[in-house]
Structure 1
Amino acid sequence: MKAIKAAFQHTLVWPVLTLVLLIALDVAHRANFLAISMFEGHFFGAPIDILNRAAPLVIVSLGMTLVIATRGIDISVGAVVAIAGAAAAMLLADSPGNVTTAVLAALAVGLVAGAWNGLLVAFVGMQPIIATLILMVAGRGVAQLLTGGQIIPIGAPGYLVIGGGYLARIPCAVWVAAAVTVATALLMSRTALGLFIRAIGVNPVATRLVGLRSSLIVFAVYVFSGLMAAIAGVLMSSNVRSADGNNAGLLLELDAILAVTLGGTSLAGGRFSLAGTVIGALIIQTLTYTTYSIGVPPEATLVVKAIVVLLVCVIQSESARSLLVKHVKRLFSSAQAKPVSEAAK
């Protein structure tokens, strides 16, 4: 009994159960939901499609996880996605064969954007939501200036392979997301950086008093978040074969925050789970797929998503679970007492 109770208190239990329930709902609606077939030399099916479309969200959410772990927030990632895609598209428009330069330019944009946020938060002392809100608004304008307010088509074959191609029959975007996830996990587990980030989230004043350069670490975390957004921008612009300064990455920051929250990372800082974040991103994408597949109107998709996220977050809350268990025990006790009282009569 204690083992079962401890298992249900694990951070990943509820996200995994949520994902399993969503998959079960899809299977109930369409029996061949989990079927994977070969089409034009690569794997094809709903699971592959979900993984492919979730890849940019996974990458952005990894950066968001570390930011939130330091008691911060980055709501500019959607704008950075748009700027990175626009920068790559502008370079490819002049020189379609110079794919490496275009990708490096996009990544440089992410680093600069992250450094700007980190400078305002870590060294100027601005509140994270205000600092990143500035780039969220200005960045979207920068992206539209780069594209001239138009959708810039991308036709460079080498660039299109990154987000739309396949490697070993699996979408390249999935490989990129997996590589970024593994690299981030190794960085957090094999170095002291993960411990430092947790310490800053728990008590930033204490970490500063013991000599830890917390400002530099917070700065680095925002730079990392900007880099992750830029990688996602390359994948998304490659996948849709164009750069759209107005719509690229729109509301992506909200999905990333939801994915991080669903994965069990504390918004109060100090506790984070990269595995939980990946599962949370898969939940978001699977939920989107599910709502469309079962016939939910597009205008109601966001409402359904909000309800599911609310339920999962409530279930993850220890106080909410304790209250629910208390009411269940009360109902069970009253149900047992009723037959006894009837028998006494």
Structure 2
Amino acid sequence: MSTLGWAVAVRDRDHVRHLLQEYGVYAALVALFAISVGLDSSFLSVANVRIQLFQVSPTLLVALGMALVIGTEGIDLSVGAVIALSAAVVPLYLGWGLPVALLVAVLLGAVSGSVGGAMVAFTRTQPIVATLSLMIGVRGLAEIVNGDSAKPVTDAGLLALGSDSVAGVPLMAWITAACAVLTGLLVRRTTFGRRLVAIGDNRAASRLAGLPVRRILLTVYILSGVLAAVAGVMIVGHGAEADPANQGLNMELDAITAVVVGGTPLSGGRVRVLGTVAGALFMQLITAVLTQHNVPTSYTQMVEAAIICLAVYASQERGSR
């Protein structure tokens, strides 16, 4: 092969790789949806679509906060524990009214996020270490607050939040969609978003350039905690009980998976909000399709692990380029 032919082949290969990295998750989502409908026409039923939206909404909400954190080259392993803590405190304050219970849950999410963010921003603790210790401590606190057994929830307003629909679409999905739009605007249309991406791309250079690195890092982790707390409230409303021993388990892994599959590199410097939405929907469809066809959970986990490995590989390629 001539030098010119070799150069053209390399250019074409790089172009195809770029297209797969940029749009692969959307193509995979469309293909999986088509396969799901082809295998089972009832997949398009209103009842099934509602179920999928109910299940994916909390995960996507947490993934939006995780995308912001990963965009700064960080990680937040505490989000599942924050879900458990918000779930534990909501029943305790429902006697004061639903707004008070929601406010307390969100404030606790913000406090948890601020602790992890302060460790990362001010003490320069590795994010995985800071949030891992927070995950363990907050989960233990949630179980202490809640007690040994699940607490039933009967508040009509909270149950409506977890089960009602508007125009046929679950209220949870509307709230999550609004958060996704706001997150996208935050990343793409504000100075904060541009600084967040710059910090993830090169923190040292951002600090030398005079960017408020510590403040932005702190804010990002607070936002992640707040979104996780809202997800916890949704889970309680949908399940009609508070069970912090089980609620939020592995949610941090689901959120990271959605973010990585959606194209946000673990190396930071970029946040793909729409990709995160597609990633969460894709993983939800994978689980739903395999479950509906009676595929054992162990095989489902193996499929998801393979997808994660491929997504991480593509993310590394994207980050290095």
Whether TM-score is above 0.5 comes out as: yes
In the TM superposition, what is the alpha-carbon distance from 1:238 to its structure 2 partner? 0.7
Residue 22 (structure 1) aligns with: 32
- Which deviates more from structure 2 when the two are superposed, residues 137-146 or residues 14-23? 14-23
> Aligned-pair RMSD on alpha carbons?
2.1
Aligned match of 1:71 in 63, 70, 73? Answer: 73
Residue 5 (structure 2) aligns with: none
Q: How does 1:62-101 map to 2 (within 5 A)?
A: 62-92=64-94, 95=95, 98-101=97-100
Residue correspondences, number: 308
Contact 1:70/1:270 (CA < 8 Å) preserved in 2?
yes
Deviant stretches of 4+, over 4 Å: 1-8, 312-319
Residue 287 (structure 1) aligns with: 286
Residue 43 (structure 2) aligns with: 33
Residue 60 (structure 1) aligns with: 62
Contact 1:7/1:13 (CA < 8 Å) preserved in 2?
no
Q: How does 1:36-47 map to 2 (within 5 A)?
A: 44-47=46-49
Amino acid at match of 1:199: A
Q: Distance in 2 between matches of 1:316 and 1:224?
A: 24
In the TM superposition, what is the alpha-carbon distance from 1:222 to its structure 2 partner? 0.4
In the TM superposition, what is the alpha-carbon distance from 1:307 to its structure 2 partner? 2.1
Amino acid at match of 2:144: L
Contact 2:260/2:311 (CA < 8 Å) preserved in 1?
no
Residue 239 (structure 2) aligns with: 240
Contiguous gaps of at least 5 residues in structure 1: 36-43, 320-345
Amino acid at match of 1:22: L
Q: How does 1:236-315 map to 2 (within 5 A)?
A: 236-314=235-313
Residue 223 (structure 1) aligns with: 222
In the TM superposition, what is the alpha-carbon distance from 1:79 to its structure 2 partner? 0.2
Amino acid at match of 1:84: S
Q: Distance in 2 between matches of 1:194 and 1:3?
A: 33
Contiguous gaps of at least 5 residues in structure 2: 1-7
Q: Distance in 1 between matches of 2:160 and 2:263?
A: 34
Q: Which has the higher helix share?
A: 2
Q: Among the aligned pairs, what percent are the same residue?
A: 39
Q: Distance in 2 between matches of 1:89 and 1:278?
A: 30
Residue 107 (structure 1) aligns with: 106
Q: Distance in 1 between matches of 2:12 and 2:162?
A: 43
Deviations 1:299-335 (A, max 9, x none): 332122212333454566659xxxxxxxxxxxxxxxx
Q: Distance in 2 between matches of 1:316 and 1:32?
A: 35
Alpha-carbon spacing, 1:6–1:48, altered in 2? closer, same or farther (3 Å): farther
What TM-score do the two structures reach when normalised by structure 2? 0.90
Q: Distance in 2 between matches of 1:69 and 1:50?
A: 27
Alpha-carbon spacing, 1:222–1:26, altered in 2? closer, same or farther (3 Å): same
Alpha-carbon spacing, 1:3–1:190, altered in 2? closer, same or farther (3 Å): farther
In the TM superposition, what is the alpha-carbon distance from 1:167 to its structure 2 partner? 1.7
Alpha-carbon spacing, 1:271–1:135, altered in 2? closer, same or farther (3 Å): same
Residue 120 (structure 1) aligns with: 119
